[in-house]
Structure 1
Amino acid sequence: MRARYAAYALEESNYVFRTWHPRTRPDEVAADPAVRWTGLEVLATSGGEQDDQDGVVEFRASYDAPGGRGALHETSRFTRRAGRWVYVEGDVRS
Structure 2
Amino acid sequence: MSSVSLTNKHGRVQQRIQAAGFFGIPELKNPRYLLCFKDGRKAHFKAALASADLQAIPLYSHHATRQSLFAKGWQSVTELDRLRAGARLSQPQDKETHHA
What is the TM-score when the length of structure 2 is the normalising length? 0.21
Q: Whose helix fraction is larger, Structure 1's or Structure 2's?
A: 2
Structure of larger gyration radius? 2
Q: Of Structure 1 and Structure 2, which has the larger fraction of its residues in strand?
A: 1
